Amino acid sequence: MPMSPLEELRHSGSHILATAVLRLFPDAKLDIGPPTETGFYYDIDLDHKFTADDLVKIEAEMKKIADENQPFLRKEVSREEAVAIIKERGQERYKLGRLADIPEGEKISFYQNGEFMDLCAGTHVRYSSKLKAFKLLSIAGAYHRGDEKNKQLQRIYGTAFPTKEELAQYLENLELAKARDHRRLGKELQLFTFDTEDVGPGLPLWLPKGTVIIEELEKLAKETEFAAGYQRVRTPHIARESLYLTSGHLPYYADSMFPPMELSDDGKEQTQRYYLKAMNCPHHHKLFGALPRSYRDLPLRMAEYGTCYRYEQSGELLGLMRVRSMQMNDAHIYCTEEQFAAEFKAVNEMYLKYFSIFGLGKYQMRFSTHDPAKLGQKFVNEPELWKKTEDMVRQVLVESGINFVEVPNEAAFYGPKIDVQVWSAIGREFTIATNQVDFAVPRKFNLEYITPQNTKATPLCIHRAPLGTHERFIGFLIEHFAGDFPVWLAPEQVRLVPISDKQLDHGRALAARFHAEGIRVTLDEHSDKLGAKIRRAELDKVPYTLVIGQKEAEANSVSVRSRARGDEGVITADAYLAKLRTEVATRALPEKKAASPKP
RNA sequence: GCCGGCGUAGCUCAAUGGUAGAGCACCUGUUUUGUAAACAGGCGGUUGCGGGUUCGAAUCCCAUCGCCGGCUCCA
């Protein structure tokens, strides 16, 4: 596959990086150095631990190599010659394995620049001097071949662009992305906090302002689900071990669950194990099974914002995006095979409706299927059901005209699924929502309904969570909107700013009125100058600041300053309230489009 | 969990072996302000926690917890 010019440049950057590393550290053993979406890296095995200082030196050496204007030369060789070249260069530790990956019959090529020669399919820029705008960014550990059983190598990341201006722009964007990092904004805007000492890592505490967002999201979900014929249920946060043995989760996921609580009843020898729930489905299955069900009850749609706990590995925690306690926009739809397509389609449509509410334009639907080689291990051993349900899902996707990519070997153990991936402002990729088919677990729970023929049948189950978890979804929204939430979600919708203390009483009366209308309003009572109060409101990212001076107080009007549009002039308080009510009720998006940058 | 880096006041940061400091925030007073920072004073730290070296440790060493950048994982 030919590389794009940018990929060629970056790939050449990684070769030049390797050239420089070998000049400075001749003992380095090279593994692999490809271009990435944002730059390039090279994986290196070396006893010496690279430091930040080393990066500076390596970068300076790379600059020299670029100035040497080395041509990149391609050389095709036989497998035997390739082995000889690798050995001659003392790079057999990883490169022989990489050579073995090249299928018999395929061309084996090396690329040479200056004294450096690397096993490489290509392609490259013609001369090293093409590499003008580049920068080494970081050092990280990376397992050889991405397998944690293998040795961990040192990975040096860098990036390169055709021009210095583009590089500068990229680096500036990285800085801008930091400013909209949800961890930083969450702290600045007082949305949530962590107390890693006494509460624990990965366990977010929601401050009142963040809780407003949670409750607005739940309101949206409840309205939407009610309209779509869902029923709400509630279940406990814990269950006995047997529940997860029945569901089959325990053998697959015990490592990801908090260790069980052992309870002994009244000093009896026998103990009971309780687990914090990591998923809601088993509880919901119990609810389905709690009553006799008829085909007339189907499709039965059971919804709950369920709280789950997952023991994520410490290194995987990341702000709100990866946490150990989470509340999920969960629901399970029990239906017949005939109903499946319509239900699955309706769920996808609900996703799209939500995405338009949040102005989420850039997303990717991933259709995850099973791997036949792993039936009975990673996936339940039901080859026919896999095929049947995967065909059904694929058909719904195609019929709905939804763009998707199909990824084998990533299904849930109980059936195929669709994940919705989005990209955060920092370019990180997240699964924000999921929609899964389950043809296996209902049977384990002996879930049945009576068919029109008075026989018993097991329903299919659709697991779906269009708004994902509060934690991840809000983390994403913070970055998506850069903290400038639409008015309906904004923790503080209106800030009243009196020009002087003389308008304080009027301000209090107005605040009380707005509050009585259900508006989230505050009054700035500081005795600062107007400019300072405006600044404070801007920094707090309040969508509307209403300035009240002598004139406004007398006319019962307000001077409206919109965060998105600036000074909008004076209107009566009544007229403003009417506009605001509409904006909230329609869940209007902010006018200044909060773009979420592409990865 | 693994590799590397980093933990100083609510926040952003300074102090490199010799008395822990600044700006912002907060509180008080003065000011009464027309669309992004008025002025003055005050409060605030067992330098993440625990050991060690030293006459003396924020600073050096060990251990531990946490965070950050990646890797692995992600129902």
Domains in chain A, please, with CATH? 5-162 (3.30.980.10), 192-237+278-481 (3.30.930.10), 494-585 (3.40.50.800)
pLDDT confidence of residue A377:
81
φ, ψ of residue A364 in degrees (nearest 5): -135, 125
Q: Whole-number Å distance, CA A49 to C1' B60? A: 21
A215 forms beta bridges with none
A430 forms beta bridges with A422
- Nearest nt to the A368 alpha carbon by C1': B75
Q: DSSP assignment, residue A83? A: H
Are the C-beta atoms of residues A446 and A454 closer than 8 Å to each other?
A: no
Q: Whole-number Å distance, CA A583 to C1' B33? A: 32
pLDDT confidence of residue A266:
65
pLDDT confidence of residue A391:
93
A308 forms beta bridges with A326
Q: In residues, how long is chain A?
A: 599
Q: DSSP assignment, residue A163? A: S
Q: Whole-number Å distance, CA A150 to C1' B71? A: 11
Q: Whole-number Å distance, CA A194 to C1' B44? A: 22
- Nearest nt to the A200 alpha carbon by C1': B66
pLDDT confidence of residue A402:
87
Q: Nearest residue to B49, CA vs C1'?
A: A197
Are the C-beta atoms of residues A156 and A50 closer than 8 Å to each other?
A: yes
Q: Whole-number Å distance, CA A550 to C1' B25? A: 30
* CA-closest candidate to residue A494, choices A512, A513, A520: A520
A404 forms beta bridges with A365
pLDDT confidence of residue A429:
80
pLDDT per residue rounded down to tens, chain A (599 residues)? 578 899 999 999 999 999 999 999 999 999 999 999 899 999 999 988 898 888 989 999 999 999 999 999 999 999 999 999 999 999 999 999 999 999 988 889 999 999 999 999 878 999 899 999 999 999 999 999 999 899 999 999 999 999 999 999 998 888 888 889 999 999 999 999 999 888 999 999 999 999 999 999 999 999 999 999 999 999 999 999 999 999 988 988 888 999 999 887 666 677 889 999 999 999 999 999 999 999 999 999 999 999 999 999 999 999 999 999 999 999 999 999 999 999 999 999 999 999 999 998 888 899 999 988 888 888 888 899 899 999 999 999 999 888 899 998 889 888 999 999 988 766 778 899 999 999 999 999 999 999 999 999 999 999 999 999 999 999 999 999 999 999 999 999 999 999 999 999 999 999 999 999 999 999 999 999 999 999 999 999 999 999 999 999 999 999 999 999 999 999 999 999 999 999 999 999 987 644 433 32
- Sheet holding A133-143: strands in order across? A29-30, A40-45, A152-161, A133-143
- Nearest nt to the A568 alpha carbon by C1': B35
Residues 6+ apart with CB under 8 A from A180: A425, A426, A478, A479, A482, A483
Q: Whole-number Å distance, CA A158 to C1' B11? A: 32
pLDDT confidence of residue A268:
66
DSSP reduced 3-state for A398: helix
Residue that has been written with the tokens 């009196």 in this structure: A498
| Burial of A292 (C-beta count, 10 Å sphere; 0-12/13-18/19+) | exposed
Residues 6+ apart with CB under 8 A from A491: A189, A191, A208, A209, A210, A212, A213, A485, A520
Q: Whole-number Å distance, CA A490 to C1' B26? A: 25
φ, ψ of residue A423 in degrees (nearest 5): -115, 130
- Nearest nt to the A188 alpha carbon by C1': B11
Q: Whole-number Å distance, CA A192 to C1' B15? A: 32
- Nearest nt to the A147 alpha carbon by C1': B72
* CA-closest candidate to residue A280, choices A304, A260, A299, A261: A304
- Nearest nt to the A148 alpha carbon by C1': B72
C-alpha separations of A118 from A83, A88, A91, A446, A482 in Å: 12, 12, 9, 59, 44
**CA atoms of A493 and A592, how far apart (whole Å):** 16
* CA-closest candidate to residue A301, choices A350, A334, A336: A334
pLDDT confidence of residue A597:
36
* CA-closest candidate to residue A334, choices A479, A439, A480: A439
Nucleotides of B under 7 A from a protein CB: 1-5, 11, 26, 30-38, 48, 65-75
Are the C-beta atoms of residues A428 and A321 closer than 8 Å to each other?
A: yes
